[in-house]
Structure 1
Amino acid sequence: MPKAQRNLRIREILEVARRTRMEFAAQVVLITFTGAVAWMATGLHCIPLWVALHFGLITVERKITRRLRNSESPFALPAVLAAHLAIGAVFAAMPVYLWMQEDEAFHFTGTVLLLGSILNIFLVRAQIWYLALCFVAPDAVAIALIAGHIARQTPTPAQAITVWVVASAIIVYLGVALLQAARAHRRHLVTREQLVQSQKMEALGNLAGGMAHDFNNILNVITGTLDLARDERDPARIAAQLDRAHAAADRGASLIRQVLSFARKSHLEPRRVDPPAVIAEVETMARRLIPERIAIDTLVDPDVPAVRVDEGTLVTALLNLVLNARDAIEGRGRIILSCTLAPGLPSGRRGRVMFSVRDDGHGIAREMIGRVTEPFFTTKPVGEGTGLGLSMVAGFAAQSGGALQIDSQEGAGTEVRMLLPLDDGPAQPKPPAPANRPAPAPIAKPRCVLLVEDQRELLELLQIFLRRSGHVVHAASSGDAALALIEDGVCPDILISDVVMPGQMQGRDLAALVRERFPQAQIVLMSGFEEASFGCPEQKHCDMLFLAKPVRLAELAEAIAPR
């Protein structure tokens, strides 16, 4: 199981504990009171020991769960589930013990305890099937042991068979209920993913107008600069104008990558994230969404440490908070994005980074603050909001091991603070930014290049560049055409291919075929989509290089340089 999925499951268990604090408090009072009464009435010293052991295990389990929620160990989730299994086993042991006593009052007490355990499973634990299993299994064993004890006491075989039939029916029912819980949990995960995507699509719709404006400006710079270069005679001025066009194209490529990352559909993939970079990205996107009458300021501590979260979902969450702040401001106003180390943490707790979005809008009524994170609850007029924004932000914060705090006062604005855990791992070096490096000189020994690209103008451009570099180029406009060239005897030293193309043979398939037939060939894949969108079909094929479009010629030359 991937580490991100393990950590997500641990955080789901933590979230169940957080949502059921009142039920747990009632359980403490009820079990402690009844245990004390039973001890005084019966004199059984095992009862207070059982109560102490039960709540002691719960305390240990919660400490283990909090400590392991961001663990790298593959044994983190099994350790958490083992702690829950121990709690379930200890609780189920008492009904069995009471049924072994002769007094029928003990039998009634044991039955009530077992019934309470089953109700607790399906009212609280069933939200997560693998958590419910840790309590269903001990209860099923307890029912079987009690049935065996009763069957041994019955005078006739028919009565014993009846006892076992009833016990088996109850155990089967528990199994069926567990399967239903598993299906409900899967539906919940699918629904949650769909809600996250709906929020992204809503924000992308808002971004479309601003993006169109930015792209028109970028295209205007490129076309205007090329028009000037066409009529220019001075080589130095031509080079300067072409550099300006290159810079504009890079801005367009950066904008595309930003939107692709934002719209990416995936499960949470926590990794090391630099908070100042996230704030800068959110500010850039927010300025396309916020009217000029609303000012946007940022307050960022440059020394704030990295956090461990899913970067794309963090950007989505902050952008949702910015959109909420925009909608809360009537007329002129100000939105402040800030990022600092969270103050005032109790000693012994891991540090957190605080992301904050503050506005000077109309604020939220005190009686509403407790409800604003409920799904589909909104204070906006009908048709102007789904009521999912703050709910999704709160869910993301909880799944990431953090928390959401809201401060608001009517007429004085609102501040939403998201506290996220620090990343304890070593810093990862950032990849160098692409530079306008000159292409290398033609190589001494020509190499055979199989070039596959379905966009005609790009195919011709890359052909010209590769032939100028001294390579022998065989070009194809699809994977199927490239396969035909190979069947006709082309033996490529280098494969350069788009990933998504018309026809049956896609870039990944072609690369796998070339790797199998020509093990020494270099393979370079190009795409305008994210590399993570395609995955790696087999581990042995993961030595392929990936270049994100638009591909700079210098980058391509470096990628196919002899090794």
Structure 2
Amino acid sequence: MAEDKSPKFNTDAPYTLSESQISAILTIAADAIIALDETFRITLFNDGAAAIFGYAPAEILGHPLDILIPERMRTNHHHHVAEFSASPVAARKMGERQEIFARRKDGSEFPADASIAKQMIGGHKTYMVVLRDVTDRKRAEAALAAANSELEARVADRTKALEAEIRRREEAHAALIQAQRMEAFGQLTGGVAHDFNNLLTIITGNLELLSGQSGNGSTSAYLKRAADAADMGASLTKRLLTFARRRHLTPQILDVNLLILNLTEIMRRSLGEHIALTTLLDGNVWRTRVDPSELENAILNLAINARDAMPTGGSLVIETRNVSDAETSLPTKGDFIMISVGDTGCGMSPEVLEHAFEPFFTTKETGRGTGLGLSTLYGFAEQSGGHATILSAPGQGTTVNLYLPRSDEGLAAETSLAETIPLSEDSEVVLVVEDNPEVRELTLQRVEGLGYVAREAENGPAAIRSLEADPDIQIVLSDIVMAGGISGYDLAKWIGEHKPHVRVLLTTGYAPEETTQEPAADLPILRKPYKRIDLALALREAVRGRSGS
């Protein structure tokens, strides 16, 4: 068997490095390795230390360690070194409590990681320090921290933008739902108005017929009371349609003082006893030309808003006066009637005031406000050629000023019915087109009572057949919304194409087409419920040719 001549190692004996091996380690080490005597003077300074600090070993050996420490940190350094020297711990990482810095030959400072160890050699305590320049690591950490901060800021900004987008979408969704509700309400209101106005037409028409036959004073009083109630019902229907945006504006010359005085009773009931209502009306206020129902709604909405802003009570002042553009900063020049509605309520913050005229903006709790009141008022003022402003501050109440343009037209003169009801002059033939039998029968009586010869048709197709068969028909009085597939507008168009000499007068309690198209100027519309004088005047205008098809 061959003899094994490989070197033998005694694994049980302690292994020690030779001086040449230690010198090689000190030479190749990239970290600074520094030996100190018991007085903390430098006794060894390797190449790594020379590269980091910029001192040659010959320049530094024998110098105290303080030469490598920034002056501002030397006091704390002495304290920590003395504490370590007296402790039983053989080695410790420096800078465990705080970041440490070292000082180069050129005076510059740099962050460092350092560890220190101690041992007794020949009865003397010596120290060994290993130090690493961590400038690049700190720079990378700072860059990473800055990147993280930037990322966090971007995430925060994106989160904020996302939250704002979510809020915007929620608000848009809520506005859509509200708009859909308003649309459904408008459709419901329109249908109710159509039927309700037909009923009111029957009521008012029959009351007029009865009043002409009754000579009893008490009976006449009862009939007048019933007629007044029917007029109030008609006015209520108009307001419902206006609120639901289901009828076109009908501007007319108004005395705003009279309109406000007529509203005071209903406003007092709406406000309650805890709110004092005062009116300051200019006796010489100018006239204006606006839709009276819209103006009434605007004032009532402002009164209700004021009531909600004064839950524990307060005062509401409604004022009218004349103003010119020289007195205001309005975008439109001219003379205006200012209607001011001021309360002593809680007022608005600047943020709320900024959005007060925006559609669907409301500060009221869910279910109590639509956010349409002030925006509708603003739109009404702008459409009327005027403007609206708000003055408000928290705890100082709110004042809304509505500016309506001055009109120099005079108010329509009120005359006696007995003197103004015009009768037929030549027994003209009128075709009454109405799908409601009761309304049709009443209308026939009214037309005949005015001296005209009345014919009837239950719908559009029947009316066309009558027109083709009867050349004597001169006027067609037609409802707009009818069964049979042909509306009053369709019938008027057919007449214009086939019977251009026949005059057309339309009547309606509510027409959905009015929300999507403006009736032609040559198609007058008599709105139900109407009075006998309204029918007489409309027929006379048709006879005189002021309405052509």
User: Normalised by the size of structure 2, how large is the TM-score?
Assistant: 0.50
Higher strand share: 2
| Bigger relative CO (Cα 8 Å, ≥ 6 apart) | 2
